[in-house]
Structure 1
Amino acid sequence: MAAKNIVRPVFDNPFLNIIVNPDGTVKRDPEARNPSNSDPNCNSSVLSKDVVLDPTKNTWLRLYIPNMAAPPPSAVKLPLILYYHGGGFVFCNADSSIYDVFCKGLVEKLGAMVISLDYRLAPEHRLPAAYEDAVDGFFWIKNAEDEWITEYADLNNFFLAGTSAGANLAFHGGLRFAAMAGELEPLRVRGMILHHPYFSGTKRTGSEQKLANDPLLPLYAIDQMFDLSLPKGVDHDHEYSNPMAKDGSKNLDEIRRLGWRVLVTGCFDDPLVDAGLECAKMLEGKGVETVRFFDDGYHAMEVFDPSMAGPLYDVITNFIFSYAT
């Protein structure tokens, strides 16, 4: 089904002309980036600040909270979402304007605390580097003495979320969390939010074939970014790119045992939509409680056009507050 009455925004799309430099790095053009703002006297309904995660890896976190005059009582601490931005593992950052705006929307509409991870990018740092950064983020939150964490975050209501490649990261980061959940207490994951997950294999799905020339995310760009981000020498049925193949679903039994729920979202005019549906089917087949939200639209629509994000925010709000205790 094609999207109706949905206008794609015009922007400088880095996916359409990926240039690999002679040294193996990728040319990244300047993009719009937003500074953090932690001034409680500002007009914004959301405050943000940046903290160092691992200086040796140049990784960091952007923390977001509602702009409130005083910390909430401990009984009403906020659900905590650890969010991973998209960009095919090759482009974008936590402070990229589109992702900063999206995270602010999550905070404002959900009344939650959000932490966005700025992880290492490929091909300079191929997978599993980003997954390792996700684990670093878990331990930082577990051990954090930052006042925003101690005053606002309900570590017992912790969610992993991401868009596109960030949803891939949330999935694989979640598998790692589940395997070491005992080491990460008092952090307790309640669920994962996979927003337009970035998965693809060697066998083409129907939506990949139908939308091979998608103006936002054409098939050649999907392939090229996985070629740049996967470990060298593996094909696209590696568990990192196609968890529906081989042993990519390992630890899902542990996720089921821990009682996690998973929200999988997608849009029908997205070449990756069938892979998202297959992911939801795999989770359901493993006995993981899964919520689906699929509608008309294009890949990562709610990030590129905030005016389209309302229904998604409503679904995420219901997902989080239905299961948060």
Structure 2
Amino acid sequence: MASNTAPAPAPAPAADELLHEFGPLLRVYKSGRIERPLVLPPVAPGPDPSTGVQSKDVDLGAYSARLYLPPSAAAGTAAKLPVIVYVHGGGFVAESAKSPNYHRFLNDLTSACPALGVSLDYRLAPEHPLPAAYDDCLDALRWVLSAADPWVAAHGDLGRVFVAGDSAGANICHHVAIQPGAARLGGAVLIHPWFWGSEAVGEETTDPAARSRGAGLWMFACPGTSGMDDPRMNPMAPGAPGLGALACERVMVCTAEGDFLRWRGRAYAEALAAADKGVELLETDGEGHVFYLFKPDCDKAKEMLDRIVAFINAP
């Protein structure tokens, strides 16, 4: 006989347990849910009203790229342009070429040079652990050099291809340029590069626990790593490929006074100089990590942009 008693409510699900948290970049929960608190809604490509730069997205299978064409090229009045292959930061786990901050920076940079920009939207960890991001960016550089895209074929000077990136993106730029048989590049721009190591350099902390914490996100994003002195994270480690093998003769390294990575960036620049590479070091006082993305109109961000433009356009 049917009962008039309502069934008891199902028990409430247990709270989703937080398994990993890496500052504001990434939270991973036991259920598999992933949060990236800093990531802003993506912006669409198209004409930029401030600079006149045109942009479009290109699907490249596992990843994509956003291309930027300055107005002089779109009008057909310019000679072929240098190509800047840009790799965004975000600790290998966050951010996108479609982020409003990166979209604005690429509009500003490609307009100021002028240059053809190719901003890479590589796969992120933990959904795609490293080396996925490295593999995507290596593949993307080969795609650029093949001139398969009509904008690159019509407007890009493939004798002047530069890699540029910030933080984890700068790390990827080094990795791309140090590969055996890498295509020759016009240069590399490494902004606040994320390198680390088991031994302190400069005025880095010497506390072992703090140094281990500094490598925690790397170990999570790259579960197959050998540790803090993996050559992908520490290009000055014993056994790492010599910096003389870098596929370009000119490198610009940017550091910031308020960035705990500044000593590592400076040491990398010094190691490049010791390997007979042409190095330009820009050290910004009073600012922190990737400040130019959040304060693009400040004088120091404009100075950094001007210096990068001069580096790209140097004879």
Secondary structure of 2:23's match? Answer: helix
**Distance in 2 of aligned mates of 1:305 and 1:219:** 29
The AA in structure 2 aligned to 1:50 is: D
* One of 124, 129, 154 as aligned partner of 1:126: 129
- Equivalent pair of 1:24/1:123 in contact (CA under 8 Å): no
Q: TM-score, normalised by structure 2?
A: 0.83
* One of 64, 72, 78 as aligned partner of 2:77: 72
Secondary structure of 2:44's match? Answer: coil
The AA in structure 1 aligned to 2:127 is: E
Distance apart, 1:281 and its partner CA: 1.1
- Equivalent pair of 1:85/1:166 in contact (CA under 8 Å): yes
Structure 1 pair 142–282 and aligned structure 2 pair: CA distance change class (3 A): same
* One of 222, 230, 237 as aligned partner of 1:230: 222
- Equivalent pair of 1:78/1:153 in contact (CA under 8 Å): yes
Counterparts of 1:220-259 in structure 2, within 5 Å, are 222-232=214-224, 234-250=226-242, 252-255=243-246
- Equivalent pair of 1:238/1:246 in contact (CA under 8 Å): no
The worse-fitting range, judged by mean Cα deviation, of 132-141 and 269-278 is 132-141
Secondary structure of 2:271's match? Answer: helix
Structure 1 pair 233–243 and aligned structure 2 pair: CA distance change class (3 A): closer
Secondary structure of 2:289's match? Answer: coil
* One of 200, 205, 213 as aligned partner of 2:196: 200
**Percent of aligned positions that are identical:** 34
Q: TM-score, normalised by structure 1?
A: 0.80
Q: Does 1:21 align with 2:65?
A: no
In structure 1, the residue matched to 2:279 is: 290
Greater share of residues in helix: 1
**Distance in 2 of aligned mates of 1:243 and 1:23:** 36
**Distance in 1 of aligned mates of 2:218 and 2:42:** 27
- Equivalent pair of 1:266/1:293 in contact (CA under 8 Å): yes
Secondary structure of 2:67's match? Answer: strand
Larger RCO (CA within 8 A; separation ≥ 6): 1
Distance apart, 1:152 and its partner CA: 1.5
Q: After superposition, give the CA deviation of every residue in 1:231-286 in whole Å (9 maximum; x if it has no partner).
A: 33521111111111123334x3333xx65200011011110000001111111111
Secondary structure of 1:266's match? Answer: strand
**Distance in 2 of aligned mates of 1:86 and 1:197:** 9
Structure 1 pair 125–37 and aligned structure 2 pair: CA distance change class (3 A): closer
In structure 1, the residue matched to 2:88 is: 85
Structure 1 pair 26–37 and aligned structure 2 pair: CA distance change class (3 A): closer
Structure possessing the higher radius of gyration over alpha carbons: 2
Counterparts of 1:161-240 in structure 2, within 5 Å, are 161-176=164-179, 179-181=181-183, 188-209=184-205, 222-232=214-224, 234-240=226-232
- Equivalent pair of 1:34/1:100 in contact (CA under 8 Å): no
Q: After superposition, give the CA deviation of every residue in 1:16-69 in whole Å (9 maximum; x if it has no partner).
A: 3742233667422473234333359x665211100012x2x2x00000111345
**Distance in 2 of aligned mates of 1:268 and 1:199:** 16
- Equivalent pair of 1:261/1:290 in contact (CA under 8 Å): yes
Structure 2 gap segments, 5+ residues each: 1-21
How many pairs does the alignment contain? 290
**Distance in 1 of aligned mates of 2:213 and 2:33:** 16
- Equivalent pair of 1:90/1:228 in contact (CA under 8 Å): no
Q: Aligned-residue CA RMSD in angstroms?
A: 2.7
**Distance in 1 of aligned mates of 2:193 and 2:33:** 25
Distance apart, 1:317 and its partner CA: 1.5
